[in-house]
A and B are shown apart, each in its own frame.
Chain A
Amino acid sequence: MTAKTRTTSPGDSASLVGLASLDGLLASKEIAVFCGPGGVGKTTTAAAAALMAAAKHGGKVLVLTVDPAKRLANALGLSGIGNTETKISKAAFEAAGISGRGELWAAMLDTKQSWDDLIKRHAPDEEVKERILSNPLYQNISGHFVQSHDYIAMERLYEIHTEGDFDLIVVDTPPTRNAIDFLEAPERMSDFFSSRLLRWLIAPYRSKFINFASRPFYQVADRILGTQFLGDISEFFILFQSMYEGFAERAEAVSKLIQDSRTTFLVVSTLETFPIKEAEFFVDALLERNLSLGAIILNKVLPDYFRSTKAISAAEQLDKQFDKLANELLGKMSGAGKDGAGVLGGLNANGDLSRVFKEVGESFLNFSVVAKKEAEQAKELALSSEITVKIPFFDTDIYDLAGLAKLGRSMWS
């Protein structure tokens, strides 16, 4: 099962069904989840893809982001007050040189707010709601719940999708300790609430009798945590139990949505050793769960010329014969008249020019090695999906709509 998609060679059947590009993929799907290791540019590529989809396909496109860089957040009109969907103005769109058909919207994930909303929705009555929201343990947990980010991201996605306001929702996944955590988050959440252990844990606080079997546990727990703290935890869980059914149903629905054929996953990675390994691991995890792997997006790919034998040969000559070449060039240029020589002629640049040649050659060869190594490392990953998008190394940071458009166009072609 694991190797199902991996063995598909790129391009063969793909062209027939018209899904060979990111363009086609995003035209056909309703939800695109951008995932992969940390620090590879998930947020930026997700935003750029959403922008392109809005511009090219029209309709309403939302990018739901988790933790954007400040400047990017500003560009998207996200001032830090999260959770509400904000439209990027037509004027800003046009100012960035994008003549789009559709609308781009952005929203940021506010974990705490989303948890509160969830409690409000599922609490059986006003009293339980208030008690949970004011519980100090809950306040602590809603911010830091292990996997709470992961679950909430999927939950919000479900919420927005159910409202039916967007043609395409592009999701940027939270940085997790383990890239696959969020895939399992809904399942884990529902396990959590249905667990026998949970019931066992809170049992003594429901009745006066402590089950004989569980007594040793409470004795130990009491000694470690103190009765009061354990009591607090239990109260919290008892309150939560009253919302079990709502939560479990919801988690189930979220699970279903990410498995739906209208949802696709895009794995983003750079070509460095460790991100590539993590991305491969992630691809396997998707396939194992029968989730749709839509595309591999390779970010910050060095230009192909770093691997061209002709260029490498020129660099080698510069690296080795820098002195000779510098002298020869100076000779040639001094005969070429004043306009061609420029600084070269103006300076008695012999020593300097040699050093420049040496540096240029050496630097090129250094990057050549990186480019070769990275191309080799990315081979297998690139083969795992019908669509592989290569994004070149941009020499400037991307922090505005124009930058996103530039990035987007390079992904689209």
Chain B
Amino acid sequence: MSDLLERKLVFITGKGGVGKTTVSAALALLAAQKGKKVLVCEVDAKGDLASFFEVDELVFKERQVSAGLWAMSMDTEASLREYLKLFLKIPLVGRIGPLAKAFDFVATAAPGVKEILIVGKFCWEVKENSYDMVIVDAAATGHIVGQLAAPQAINNLVKVGLIRSQTDWMLDILSDPSKTGLCIVATPEEMPIAETLELVNAMGEQTTVDLIAVIVNKVLPELFTKREEDIFESLCVAKAIKALNELLDGDVTSVLEGASLAVKMRRSRTSHLKRLRQELPEQYPIYYLPYMFRRTEGLRATHQIVTALSEELGI
């Protein structure tokens, strides 16, 4: 089974719009289909994850969405509440209101606090062993390093107290490559690839979290072989177009133009993929997922990506 499904805690990141949530949903469903008990969580609460399973809005309390699969949505205040209950034995909900507000405040000022409530929740689930696998539809490339580096940052700032000992065990889980890893989703375009490569460097420098793989989404199909491309080009001359127009009913010119656009799109994307393979250290695999011409949301899209992903992972 692929390394991607071996870890207990997988963070999935990527530039906005590349399909982080699609990949998270598909990976979670795939793992569940392989018999694992899986929790998938959306961190940036946009509410898209629910639509990939066709379920009602997700909340902090995890809910079963299909066989072996539970889903939740991150909410820092709820996470704080759970934390206080677990570690400080403070069950007084009424008094937590202002307390949570005050904490929100501290969290706004000291960046690590909010992040640690997020990352801490997942580490806790791993520590408790309540699931075989926890998949996090995490923050975008710009924020993920801050999130994953938070326990270390707090660990450096806070020398004593409960938080200090908390960050110790969190770091143990996060730094263990057999338990935790990060997966970066990209599309074959300039900025997502550039950000991916930057992130790989930043991760190594600022965090102890292991990179598992890069998943390239929305890869266009190759239209022609070199030989077929030559033939196609010879079709795009006036005489051939004229002849073809006589043979069939309709607008052939536009169809050829469309194919030519598809070839060029594919080609410019190929150059970005080449750059990724050249500059990404060899030990990290790259998996490719196809561009989906029809459905890009909903359970149908999830199912199709599951199929593509399992083929790509060879499972």
A contact set with B: CB distance below 8 Å: 37-40, 67, 69-71, 136-137, 140-141, 144-146, 175, 177-178, 192, 195, 197-198, 200-201, 216-217, 220-229, 232-233, 236-237, 270, 272-275, 278, 303, 305-306, 308, 310-318, 321, 325, 328-329, 332-333, 336, 339-340, 342-344, 347, 349, 352-353, 355-356, 359-361, 363-364, 366-367, 369-370, 373, 393, 395-397, 399
A39-B16, A145-B111, A310-B250 known; 5 other A-B pairs, CB under 8 Å? A222-B161, A229-B163, A272-B17, A310-B254, A367-B258
Q: Enumerate chain A residues within 8 angstroms of B224, measured Cβ to Cβ.
A: 356, 359
Residue of A nearest to B252 (CB): A314
A60 to chain B, nearest CB (A): 28
Dominant SS among interface residues on chain A: helix
How many residues belonging to B are interface residues under a CB distance threshold of 8 Å? 80
Evaluate contact between A311 and B251: CB separation under 8 angstroms.
Answer: yes
Residue of A nearest to B84 (CB): A220
Evaluate contact between A315 and B255: CB separation under 8 angstroms.
Answer: yes
Sampled A-B contacts (24; CB under 8 Å): A38-B16, A40-B17, A175-B142, A178-B44, A226-B158, A226-B164, A233-B109, A236-B109, A272-B296, A274-B297, A305-B257, A308-B254, A313-B250, A318-B255, A332-B247, A333-B239, A339-B239, A343-B231, A349-B231, A360-B223, A360-B256, A370-B293, A393-B261, A397-B189
Evaluate contact between A146 and B111: CB separation under 8 angstroms.
Answer: yes
Q: Enumerate chain B residues within 8 angstroms of A178, measured Cβ to Cβ.
A: 44, 46
Q: In the assembly, what is the distance between CA of A178 and CA of B46, in Å?
A: 8
Evaluate contact between B258 and A364: CB separation under 8 angstroms.
Answer: yes
Evaluate contact between A39 and B17: CB separation under 8 angstroms.
Answer: yes
B74 to chain A, nearest CB (A): 11
Q: In the assembly, what is the distance between CA of A332 and CA of B294, in Å?
A: 36
Evaluate contact between A201 and B249: CB separation under 8 angstroms.
Answer: no
- The segment from B62-70, B262-270, B277-285 that touches chain A is B262-270
Contact of A305 among B90, B189, B221, B254 (CB under 8 A): B254
Q: Enumerate chain B residues within 8 angstroms of A397, measured Cβ to Cβ.
A: 189-190, 268
Dominant SS among interface residues on chain B: helix
B155 to chain A, nearest CB (A): 11
Chain B CB within 10 A, most for which of A137, A305, A339:
A305
Our count of residue pairs bridging A and B at CB distance below 8 angstroms stands at 239
A56 to chain B, nearest CB (A): 27
B232 on the interface (CB 8 Å rule)? yes
Q: In the assembly, what is the distance between CA of A397 and CA of B187, in Å?
A: 14
Q: What mask results when residues 72 to 115 of chain B are scored 1 for a CB within 8 Å of chain A, else 0?
A: 00000000000010001010000100110110011111110010
Evaluate contact between B90 and A220: CB separation under 8 angstroms.
Answer: yes
Q: Enumerate chain A residues within 8 angstroms of B99, measured Cβ to Cβ.
A: 216-217, 220
Q: In the assembly, what is the distance between CA of A212 and CA of B95, in Å?
A: 14
Q: In the assembly, what is the distance between CA of A40 and CA of B101, in Å?
A: 35
Evaluate contact between B259 and A217: CB separation under 8 angstroms.
Answer: no
Evaluate contact between A197 and B111: CB separation under 8 angstroms.
Answer: no
Q: In the assembly, what is the distance between CA of A216 and CA of B90, in Å?
A: 11
Evaluate contact between B88 and A363: CB separation under 8 angstroms.
Answer: no
Q: Enumerate chain A residues within 8 angstroms of B228, measured Cβ to Cβ.
A: 352, 355-356, 359
Q: For window 185-201 of chain B, which residues contact chain A by CB distance below 8 Å?
A: 189-192, 194
Evaluate contact between A229 and B157: CB separation under 8 angstroms.
Answer: yes
